[in-house]
Structure 1
Amino acid sequence: MRTHFIAIGGAAMHNLALALHEKGYKVTGSDDAIFEPSRTRLDNKGLLPAEMGWFPEKITTAIEAVILGMHAKADNPELLKAQELGLKIYSYPEFLYEQCKDKTRVVIGGSHGKTTITSMILHVMHYHDIDVDYMVGAQLEGFDTMVRLTADNDFIVLEGDEYLSSPMDRRPKFHLYQPNIALISGIAWDHINVFPTYENYVEQFDIFIQQITNGGILVYNENDPEVKRVAEASTNPIRKLPYQTPEYSVQNGVTYLETPEGPMPIEVFGAHNLNNLAGAKWICQNMGVDEADFYEAIATFKGASKRLEKIAENGKNVAYKDFAHSPSKVAATTKAVKEQYPDHTLVACLELHTYSSLNAEFLKEYEGALDSADVAVVFYSPDAVKIKQLEEVTYEQIAKAFNREDLIIYTNPAEFKDYLFNLEKQNKGTALLLMSSGNYGGLNFDEVKTLI
């Protein structure tokens, strides 16, 4: 099958291109800019476009499927040519569904935790040499790509994102997968540029549950009141399996999970991650992995990339980075690090980087999110606000939203970096937590390792 990717350089798109190439498809693509690691990974497989830009002449009737990335605009010259020729145009999730419609589809949804839960499931499968197809939103240890598609595997595990499918297809991605087994980890208002009200956002999860095939399974986090309400209210004829945060303890910086065989040390920590683990266990059991085999495998799980990822430690001080940006995830991550290192001074640095977090109206959702930190720092770039064409967010609005008198706020990347590099370490130890879906205006995280 001959496929052409419009915007092949994206994190998800280039991984799908690599997966199809591995499957034996003829793959071509275009983009106006491709950055690392996508560039090298495409180049290694001979898939990197010869030159950057859009070339309508690449689009011919020989192409059987055009796959459109979110980066492409509705007036993209290649897209217009494909429409003119009447070619079949797919969004990323639409094409994924076509690839797996005859498999058992396991879809992990939720406002937060879905990448970690998907990663846990794949880690367990990999540990036990069980081959499954998958699509996950982070690079995992032991996996070459973030997407795997085969002709033979019975299961596919999909991270179910609620964001839009493509510039042409305004449906949330996870509405297109029609799961046989689904999980919802949590519901906390996000993507307000697409879902302007809380009710509108929650409705997407109602629809997701309705998409589960008749007789299918919904695994849901009953510790989350909204998830519990939505799951229990659904009339879809499916089996519902609730889960909750399991019992655990923290001793000398090590988290122990309570199991039928007694306390078991694990690599991940924090109540939210233990909650994710409980959801992953239910999914794995419904994929044929028994409880004892799950525990054996999960003991070696170190976490997904950028999800509470330890970047430095010297015996006394420690530094983590995390993708956290939504208020609930920021609160959970900050609390988790403080619980793991109760005697350390926790310096929590949050970058407001997403459309939602830079919205003046949404900011109030962050009240209390950094309360577990001993030192709370917020960084945001006025330039990012302008680029996203949002109303200006002021220092005063941020200070009021977090409702913390000692909050430190930076808007200049150089000043924030200077603050970090002159951070006074405490005698009992310092735990530095960097939370962002960006890079604080150009911060090199490798340099941060020298601070610890």
Structure 2
Amino acid sequence: MSNSPQKVHFIAIGGAVMHNLALALHQKGYQVTGSDDEIYDPAKSRLQSAGILPDNIGWNEENIKEDLDAVILGMHARKENPELLKAQKLGLKIYSFPEYVYEQSKEKQRIVIAGSHGKTSITSIILHVLKYYNRNFDYLVGAQIEGFDLMVKLSDDAPTIIIEGDEYLSSALEMRSKFLFYHPHIALFSGIAWDHFNVFPKFEDYVKAFEELADGLPKAGAIIFDETDNMVDVICEKEREDVNKVPYKAHPYEVKNGVSYLLTDNGKVPLKIFGEHNMKNLNGAKKILERLAITEEMFYEAIQSFSGAAKRLEKLGENKYTQIFRDFAHAPSKVEATTKAGKELQPERQLIACYELHTYSSLNKDFLPHYAEKLDAADRAVVFYSPHTLEIKKMPAISKDEIKKAFGRDDIEVFTTAEELDSFLKSQNWYNSNLLLMSSGTFGGTDLSQLAKEILEMPVDIPEGEKTAVKNKKSSKLRGIFKRKK
């Protein structure tokens, strides 16, 4: 890999991964420029701080110079983008970001984490453990992780790169799944549940992308897979010459007083994360790490300090009566797993689960029935969607009755404005109740951290019977103290 400075231009630099890749290359000493028709925080502030925020918003073919070593094209940019057309005219090297990441990691061991759900968490666990032991590695992950400044690292000397492999399309020029461009030596499959209805209109098309990834593994490569997922099992158990198959399932665990513990041969290991799906994620990561010389003992030590990736069952706040979490869940399988995890954590508490229909798939009437029973683990279920979002996406309107029917719950609460949702949540008695907020959006522009703060500061109404029980418990404790003093 060349150490000489490179000139790289990003078309659609404002994306989550795109701006992180731009920052990573800037840190590496590359001359980085970029453009976009919209850039929001945190990308805007971070690019500005690094001195590579575009001077003007919008596309301008003058940004494309003959001396560019590479042009990186984001999925947000279309085929008729004037900068792309200029780059093509000049015959410049044009890459989607997964193609470019591969170019930068050809000489490394490449490990890709794929699946409809869990891939961010699994990647994050692997990164956390490797960092805990000061290993030298590169990475690409789809969320911010505690202890990591960027979501991308590309160095010249790291022997391994850990990549979260997204199945979504790569760019307007490369209409194939991103993970197909990484050419991994080891691939993990966490689960397959139909998603991205807009680009995979048939379930068979969606599954085919994962099968193609598995078929592309080299001899002496390895497939690590969730053996409890029927579709993954079918793909990964297929005979492939000299490719190792390593199945996994949820690590044995128990939940006590709101804390999850791994059950190991050497005792219980306390965790900061929870939910059966995370016990699967954790065990999948463990299988990968074993191949990177991380022993069981080392893994159990490091995993205790892992608090999760941003927006993945992230705790927004708590008091003695209530805990509030947010999660990026948007596909049906993610909504179901996250809701079950929220209830399992403290089954004695009421769980109010709020889910926003925000993606193209979730707002599609043909896809909606896939959400049937996915919120059933919640004591109270809430669905939010914005009619304005449907208008922007040029999709037909959805009625509240259609949503109730799709989710299979007549008691579901449906709201279409942030004000309605805010009013509903603040009208609840939050005694012995937890709140779960699930969305890849913002619930109509709601500041979720502020909402959580306000809910946690609200007074609660303790039922009379429980007031008496608490009073008796305190009296009993005081009598015990008094007796000891005597």
Task: Report the TM-score, using the length of structure 2 for normalisation.
Answer: 0.91
Distance 1:106 1:3 in 2: 25
Spell out the pairing of 1:320-399 with structure 2 (5 A cutoff): 320-399=325-404
218, 222, 228: which one aligns with 1:213: 218
- Cα pair 1:209 1:234 within 8 Å, conserved: no
**Stretch moving more, 165-174 or 69-78:** 69-78
**What is the aligned partner in structure 2 of residue 103 from structure 1?**
108
Aligned-pair CA distance for 1:109: 0.1
Match for 1:137: what amino acid? G
**What is the aligned partner in structure 1 of residue 133 from structure 2?**
128
Distance 1:424 1:281 in 2: 41
SS at match of 1:213: coil
Distance 1:254 1:370 in 2: 23
Identity percentage over the alignment? 53
161, 175, 182: which one aligns with 1:177: 182
452, 455, 458: which one aligns with 1:451: 455
SS at match of 2:196: coil
- Cα pair 1:206 1:234 within 8 Å, conserved: no
**What is the aligned partner in structure 2 of residue 226 from structure 1?**
231
SS at match of 1:233: coil
Spell out the pairing of 1:51-450 with structure 2 (5 A cutoff): 51-426=56-431, 429-448=432-451, 449-450=453-454
Q: After superposition, give the CA deviation of every residue in 1:73-96 in whole Å (9 maximum; x if it has no partner).
A: 111111111111111110010001
Distance 1:353 1:374 in 2: 23
Match for 1:447: what amino acid? Q
Match for 1:440: what amino acid? F
Residues 44 and 376 of structure 1: CA distance in aligned 2, closer, same or farther (over 3 Å): same
Distance 2:35 2:41 in 1: 16
- Cα pair 1:132 1:153 within 8 Å, conserved: yes
Q: After superposition, give the CA deviation of every residue in 1:392-445 in whole Å (9 maximum; x if it has no partner).
A: 22212111111112111111221111112222223xx11000000001101111
SS at match of 2:147: coil
- Cα pair 1:210 1:236 within 8 Å, conserved: no
Report the aligned-residue RMSD.
0.9
SS at match of 2:113: strand
Match for 1:214: what amino acid? K
Match for 1:83: what amino acid? Q
Distance 2:229 2:329 in 1: 18
Distance 2:427 2:241 in 1: 56
- Cα pair 2:321 2:430 within 8 Å, conserved: no
Gaps of 5+ in 1: none
Distance 2:82 2:204 in 1: 37
**What is the aligned partner in structure 1 of residue 463 from structure 2?**
none
Gaps of 5+ in 2: 1-5, 457-486
**What is the aligned partner in structure 1 of residue 43 from structure 2?**
38
- Cα pair 2:121 2:309 within 8 Å, conserved: yes
Aligned-pair CA distance for 1:379: 0.6
Distance 2:38 2:339 in 1: 35
Q: After superposition, give the CA deviation of every residue in 1:167-209 in whole Å (9 maximum; x if it has no partner).
A: 1110100011110111000000000100111111111110010
Distance 2:252 2:68 in 1: 54
Task: Report the TM-score, using the length of structure 1 for normalisation.
Answer: 0.98
Structure 1 runs of 4+ aligned residues shifted over 2 Å read: 234-237
Distance 2:298 2:449 in 1: 36
Aligned-pair CA distance for 1:368: 0.6
Aligned pair count?
Answer: 450
- Cα pair 1:266 1:299 within 8 Å, conserved: yes
Distance 1:226 1:403 in 2: 24
Distance 2:30 2:69 in 1: 11
Aligned-pair CA distance for 1:446: 2.0
Aligned-pair CA distance for 1:237: 3.1
Larger radius of gyration: 2
- Answer yes or no: is 1:4 the counterpart of 2:6: no
Distance 2:387 2:367 in 1: 17
Match for 1:209: what amino acid? A
Match for 2:215: what amino acid? Q
SS at match of 2:410: coil
